[in-house]
Amino acid sequence: MKMHGLGNDFVVLDARARPIPLSPQLVTAIAHRHTGIGFDQLAEIRTSATADAHLIFWNADGSTSAACGNATRCIARHIMNETGQTELYLTTERGDLFARDAGNGLTSVNMGHPQLAWDEIPLAREMDTLELPLDGSPTATGMGNPHCTFFVDDAASIDLETLGHRFEHDPLYPQRTNVQFASLIGPDHLRMRVWERGVGVTMASGSSSCATAVAAARRGITGRKVRIDLDGGTLHVEWADDGVWMTGPTMHVASGTFTPEFLASV
């Protein structure tokens, strides 16, 4: 299935009926936007003995990720439509996630509690995660994957490709990092742009939105419930007592199968 959340796009493989033998080579072949299908992340739906489904996430460069918020929302909506359920439990490498129908075609996912300690994110050495010793004093947050959030006057004017690539590979982040640039444009209202590790510039990112909301609240820029406008649309994020909730729209674009010719060419 091809899906997207605010233009953050995914290929979703349903492996509940039978295993799918994925490899980094096959993932990168599917990811190619000219000779494959193209995606920001690939997600695999597997069966779970303890939950409604187990999710595995891959980046476009063939690396894996423990979390992908928008893909989780897309898959949750797909399973809700399939089963008629309005609430789901999903397991990921990040942990157990709870999803629910938010009404009006919107889907909410609880992405769990943020990781705020340096060694949980992780960073290369012990330090205050609120303001890192990097140009621009960004905030570090873990959402099952590492994040580096800069608060700037105008997110739209940032050279995202240059700075995103630079900070993704900063030695301070041994597992690389997602990079966000956010501006306050109103009370509890942020404008944000995203560079995802292993992918590049994306139109939106769920886990990045959650990390930015947490960072903004920690720094006193916003409260714990915010609207975040991304290149692809708007997400609403609330840092609640039970975790970080993210709500927004999803789209199931198409369903199909890979040809034997394509699979044999990888």
pLDDT tens sequence across 42-92: 999 999 999 999 999 999 999 998 888 999 999 999 999 999 999 999 999
As a CATH number, domain 139-241 is 3.10.310.10
Angle, alpha carbons 195-169-192 (nearest 5°): 20
Pairing of β 53-59 and β 87-92: parallel
This prediction's pTM: 0.92
- Domain extent listing, the chain: 2-111+249-265, 139-241
Same topology, domains 2-111+249-265 and 139-241? Answer is yes
DSSP 38-54: --SEEEEEE--SSSSEE
Evaluate whether 58 touches 65 at the Cβ level (below 8 Å). yes
Determine if residue 180 is left, alpha or beta; phi over 0 gives left, psi from -120 to 50 gives alpha, anything else beta. Answer: beta
CA-closest candidate to residue 4, choices 253, 198, 210, 178: 253
Tell me the pLDDT tens digit for each residue of 20-48: 999 999 999 999 999 999 999 999 999 99
- The residue with tokens 């959340």 is 5
As a CATH number, domain 2-111+249-265 is 3.10.310.10
- Count of Cβ atoms closer than 10 Å to residue 234 Cβ: 15
